[in-house]
C-alpha cells in the first residue's frame, strides 16, 4: 500500500493531485509541480537544518505571539494586516527585526532577483499551527501586497493545498499586468497538495499568486488529501504523535498601497 503511495503524484480524483516531495526523484518532482502551477517555485532545502532550528529558537525566545484570531497564533512585522475587519493595513512603529534580515536578503536575491519581484519585502507574518485544529482557510493574498509571496516553513512538515481558479469571463485572458479581482474568478475544481518540508521556501508569483488559492487545512483533514497513510507521507512514520504537531511559517510580502 505504502509502496504504491510513494509515487510522487497521487490521483485522488479527477481533479486533485497530491504531491509528496522527496519520495522518488526530487528534482523531477519539483519540475512537474512547477510546470503544473505557473509562477510557483519550491526550494526544499532553502535553509539548512541548523539555520531552521536557529530561526525557530529565536522566534520562541522572543515569544511575541498574538492571539488576534481563533484559527492560529500570528505575529506581524512591518505592517499589520487586519484579519478581523476585512483587511486594511497599518504601519507598525517598530522596524522588521534584524534577525530576519539575512533571510529577507537571500529571498530578494534568489536566482539574481528573478524570483523576488520589486518592491522589497516590507511585511512579514508568522503563523503558528499547533495540534489538530489550527488552519488558514483558502485564500489569495490581499492585492494590497505585491507580486511575490514567499513562505518559509519551520518545525514539522505541513500540508498546503492549492486550488486553481480561472476568470468567470471565458474571453478574459489572464496576465500579470491585469490582475483580476477574486469576485471575477471561479474555481476549476483542480487542487494540488504539497507537503512542505521544514527549511523549505515556497515562492508564489504570477498565476500561483493571483489565480490559485492556498490553504493550510486542519491536521484532522489531512487524511482526506493524503489517504490512509497520511502520517507516513507527511511525517515519515505512522508513530508520529499528531497532538505534538507544530509548524511555524514566515510569509514575506511587499506592501504596494499607500498606507495612512
Ligand atoms: O502558513 C502558510 O504556509 C501560509 C500562510 C499564508 O497563506 C498567509 O499568511 O497568507
Ligand atoms: Fe496566504
How many angstroms separate the CA atoms of 194 and 31, rounded? 13
Cis peptide before 119 (omega within 30 of 0): yes
Cα(136) to ligand 1 centroid in Å equals 7
Q: What is the mean pLDDT of residues 41-50?
A: 97
Task: Report the nearest-CA residue for atom 8 of ligand 1.
Answer: 251
pLDDT in tens, 4-26: 333 345 556 656 666 666 556 78
Please report which helix (H) or strand (E) contains residue 103, including its range. Answer: helix 101-113
End-to-end alpha carbon distance in the chain: 57
ipTM: 0.99
- Assign 150 to helix, strand or coil: strand
The three grid cell numbers given for residue 150, joined into one nine-digit string:
514567499
CB of 248 shorter than 6 A to ligand 1: no
Residues comprising the chain, all counted: 260
Buried b (16+ CB within 10 A) or exposed e, 118-135: eeebbbbbbbbbbeeebb
**What is the Cα–Cα distance from 199 to 53, expressed in whole angstroms?**
9
* H/E stretch holding 167: strand 158-167
Q: Which helix (H) or strand (E) holds 187?
A: strand 185-196
> 162 - beta bridge partners?
192, 214
Structural domain spans, the chain: 2-253
**What CATH number was assigned to the domain covering residues 2-253?**
2.60.120.590
Residue 147's closest CA among 102, 169, 177, 192? Answer: 177
**Distance of CA 169 from the midpoint of ligand 2 (Å):** 25
Count of H-run helices and E-run strands, the chain: 7, 14
Ligand 1 closest atom vs CA 139? 7
Residue 35 pLDDT = 93
Question: Cα separation of 99 and 58, whole Å?
Answer: 8
User: What residues pack around ion ligand 2 (CB closer than 5 A)?
Assistant: 141
Query: Quick one: what percent of the chain has pLDDT higher than 70?
Result: 91
| pLDDT tens track for 72-124 | 999 999 999 998 887 899 999 999 999 999 999 999 999 999 999 989 999 99
**CA of residue 252 to ligand 2 center, whole Å:** 10
Q: Which of 73, 134, 136 to mutate to test the pocket of ligand 1 (most atoms within 8 A of CB)?
A: 136
Residue nearest to atom 10 of ligand 1 (CA): 141
- Is 205 touching ligand 1 by the criterion CB < 6 Å? no
**pLDDT tens sequence across 118-173:** 899 999 999 999 999 999 999 999 999 999 999 999 999 999 999 999 999 988 88
Q: Tell the residue number behind the cell numbers 500540508, with chain if given.
A: 159
State which of 214, 217, 246, 254 you would mutate to test the pocket of ligand 1, scoring each by most atoms of that ligand within 8 A of its C-beta.
214
Q: What is the pLDDT of residues 169-197, one digit of tens each?
A: 988 888 877 888 889 999 998 899 899 99
Ligand 1 centre distance from Cα of residue 127 (Å): 7
Distance of CA 73 to the CA centre of its chain: 16
Amino acid at each position: 500500500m505504502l509502496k504504491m503511495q510513494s509515487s510522487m503524484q497521487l490521483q485522488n480524483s479527477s481533479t486533485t493531485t497530491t504531491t509528496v516531495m522527496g519520495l522518488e526523484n526530487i528534482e523531477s518532482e519539483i519540475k512537474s509541480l512547477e510546470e503544473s502551477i505557473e509562477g510557483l517555485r519550491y526550494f526544499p532545502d532553502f535553509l539548512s537544518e541548523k539555520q531552521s532550528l536557529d530561526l525557530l529558537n529565536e522566534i520562541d525566545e522572543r515569544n511575541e505571539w498574538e492571539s488576534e484570531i481563533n484559527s492560529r497564533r500570528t505575529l506581524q512585522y512591518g505592517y499589520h494586516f487586519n484579519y478581523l475587519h476585512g483587511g486594511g493595513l497599518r504601519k507598525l512603529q517598530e522596524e522588521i527585526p534584524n534577525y530576519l534580515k539575512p533571510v529577507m536578503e537571500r529571498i530578494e536575491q534568489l536566482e539574481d532577483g528573478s524570483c523576488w519581484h520589486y518592491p522589497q519585502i516590507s511585511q512579514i507574518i508568522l503563523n503558528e499551527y499547533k495540534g489538530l485544529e489550527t488552519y488558514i482557510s483558502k485564500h489569495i493574498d490581499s492585492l494590497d501586497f505585491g507580486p511575490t509571496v514567499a513562505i518559509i516553513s519551520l518545525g514539522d512538515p505541513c500540508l498546503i493545498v492549492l486550488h486553481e481558479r480561472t476568470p468567470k469571463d471565458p474571453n478574459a485572458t489572464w496576465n500579470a499586468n491585469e490582475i483580476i479581482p477574486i469576485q471575477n474568478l471561479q474555481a476549476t475544481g483542480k487542487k494540488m497538495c504539497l507537503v512542505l518540508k521544514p527549511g523549505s521556501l515556497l515562492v508564489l508569483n504570477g498565476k500561483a499568486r493571483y489565480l490559485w488559492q492556498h490553504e493550510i487545512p486542519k491536521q484532522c483533514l489531512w487524511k482526506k488529501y493524503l489517504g490512509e497513510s497520511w502520517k507516513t507521507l507527511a511525517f515519515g512514520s505512522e508513530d508520529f504523535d499528531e497532538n505534538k504537531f507544530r509548524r511555524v511559517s514566515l510569509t514575506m510580502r511587499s506592501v504596494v498601497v499607500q498606507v495612512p
